[in-house]
Structure 1
Amino acid sequence: MKYLNFKYILVFLVVYLLALAAMFPVRWVLPTLAPVMSSAGLSAEQVEGSIWQGQAVVKHKQVGDIQLKWRTKPLHLFRLALPFQVSMLGQYFDFEALVSPSVFGMAIDDLTGYVDEQALTPFLQPYRVTLQGRLQLDQLSAASSWGYKLGDASGSLSYSGGPISVPVGRSVQQYEVPTMLGELSNNDKLWQLLITDTGAQEFIVLSLDRTGMGTLSVKRTLAEVMDIPLPTGGRSLLDVSQQVF
């Protein structure tokens, strides 16, 4: 009985401390985050509110201004978590998600929004690649413990399709990327993102297993649909594996 009372007191103290911390003005936390933001090419201006609820303008030299807003869901404090409803709005993208750090791990739920081609242009220009189209995200969710134990993953995405230009030798070739659909799922062993065409023909498979190994497989069918000349043989155009964590 005494053990149970102590447990409840401990939970109450943790919840109280989390609630108290959430009321701190976000400007107090900004100096701690500044080195991390700077290394990522980010800076914050017009910061208002507290950790509990607030907004800021985040600047990135390539992406531009990002209107960032957040608010917490206090009822989840009794689960030893501090979820934030976060929205990010830029000139060429708009995202919203529930980000839930807790004493057990991290979860992102219902990531929904879009990104247009112009947002990707600064990152593709050094490779002389241009891409057109819109990427749409629909209720993407994923959870993991702090020890990298993978939890549930779900949601979908779609790409409108459009022309892409890539350097091939000394020339630039243009191809037409088809409309693509993606489905995020998990099983006992891994997370998987399966990307297909509208007829469920496999184009790309990405996965991350519980040992931290990530794999990418680009199928020949994608190149064939895009009329890219290929040597004969093999079902995959590209297979890559890398340790992620």
Structure 2
Amino acid sequence: MFKAIWAARWFVVLGVLTFIFVLVINTPLHFVWRYVEPQAGRLPLKIEQVSGTLWDGRLRFAVPQLRDLGSLDARWQLSPLALLAGRADFDLSVLGDGVRLKSAARIGLDQQLQILGADGYLNADKIQPLLTRNRVSVAGEFELSRLLASVNLQTRQFSDVSGRLVYSGGEVGFPVDNKPIRATMPMLIGTLGMEPEKAVLNIETTEGQALIQGFMQQDGWGGIAIRRRFLDVLGQKWPAEATEETVIFEVSHKVL
């Protein structure tokens, strides 16, 4: 009998490991949360409720700096087989009033986060309080599609960024030469991509005319450059002599 058990020892070990694995991924999230909650205070989020398991979890949270977003519901589902390979493959969704985000993602032992295709929606009303601080108002909707990116969570370095951002158009307001301007913005198309050492967002009209470029560098500096053509599209005039390709406004600052 002892020989039979010894011969089957690897099946016993496999059975024990499988039992532990199943036990861990099915652990109630509220049980784990009591140990994680003290560290969560560092996040720019207010966690309101947790439920489900580590494998299939749900989280309700709010962003204090964007109160108009209200409460958001997040849900994720892990792939158990991927965990056996030393990585976490998961599907994530965030839903709220005027907000939607869905993405597939992967995190490896090397702390490399891969976004494998994210789609999202945002009603501009939800970020209006944030824009108002800079005397800017925007009406309309934003849609994000096919976002891909790779980010090292330890070094904060990113690569392989690509995607598409569409603004529906709508009424906008902003200061020009310290004077408030109101106009109707047409539909705009934004294309995310990589240039040496930085990610860029090129914003164009539906006819492909370049208006704005935003960028984020690996060192955490980000910025924006606006061409005179942007004012032309809004029916506004620039007081100085400049071609439509001339950058009339440019600013950058430390973001991360």
Shorter-normalised TM range = 0.7 to 0.9
Instruction: Name the counterpart of 2:59.
Output: 56
Question: Does 1:173 find its partner at 2:184?
Answer: no
The superposition leaves residues 91-120 of structure 1 with CA deviations (integer Å, 9 ceiling, x where unpaired) of 111111123222221122211021112212
Amino acid at match of 1:129: V
Distance 1:232 1:153, change over 3 A: same
Pick from 90, 97, 101 the counterpart of residue 95 of structure 1.
Answer: 101
Residue of structure 2 aligned with 1:232, choices 204, 222, 241? 241
Matched, 1:76 2:82: yes
Gaps of 5+ in 2: 1-17
Task: Report which of the two structures shows the higher radius of gyration computed on alpha carbons.
Answer: 2
Change (3 A) 1:101 1:130: same
Aligned AA (1:43) = I
Residue number in structure 2 paired with 1:197: 205
Q: Which residue of 26, 31, 44 corresponds with 1:40?
A: 44
Partner residue of 2:122 out of 112, 115, 118: 115
Q: Secondary structure at the match of 1:99?
A: strand
Instruction: Give me the TM-score of the superposition, normalised by structure 1.
Output: 0.79
Equivalent residue of 1:82, what SS?
strand
1:7-39 C-alpha deviation (Å, 9 max, x unpaired): xxxxxxxx9998765443322443424554576
Report the identity percentage. 23
CA distance, structure 1, for counterparts of residue 117 and residue 155 of structure 2: 23
Count of aligned pairs between the two proteins: 230
Runs of at least 5 residues in structure 1 that lack an aligned partner in the other structure: 1-14
- In the alignment, the residues of structure 2 paired with residue 100 and residue 64 of structure 1 have an alpha-carbon distance, to the nearest angstrom, of 28
CA distance in 2 between partners of 1:83 and 1:232 (Å): 54
Q: Determine the C-alpha separation between the residues in 2 that align with 1:27 and 1:179.
A: 44
Structure-2-length-normalised TM-score: 0.76
2: CA distance between counterparts of 1:26 and 1:188? 42
Letter in 2 for 1:174: R
Q: Name 1:150's counterpart in structure 2.
A: 158
* Equivalent AA in structure 2 for residue 140 of structure 1: L
Shift of 1:214: 3.1
Please report the RMSD computed on the Cα atoms of aligned residues, expressed in angstroms.
3.0
Distance 2:206 2:116 in 1: 25
User: Residues 47 and 59 of structure 2 are in contact (CA less than 8 Å); yes or no, is this contact kept in structure 1?
Assistant: no
* Residues in 2 aligned to 1:37 and 1:111: alpha-carbon distance in whole angstroms: 27
Separation in structure 1 between the aligned mates of residue 254 and residue 21 of structure 2, nearest angstrom: 34
Amino acid at match of 2:253: Q
Cα offset, 1:200, TM superposition = 1.0
Q: Does the CA contact (< 8 Å) of 1:19 and 1:77 recur in 2?
A: no
- Matching residue's letter, 2:171: P
* Counterparts in 2 of 1:191 and 1:127: CA distance versus 1, 3 Å: closer
Check whether the contact 1:18–1:77 (CA below 8 A) recurs between aligned residues. Answer: no
Task: Give the equivalent residue in structure 2 for 1:220.
Answer: 228
1:77 to partner: Cα distance: 2.5
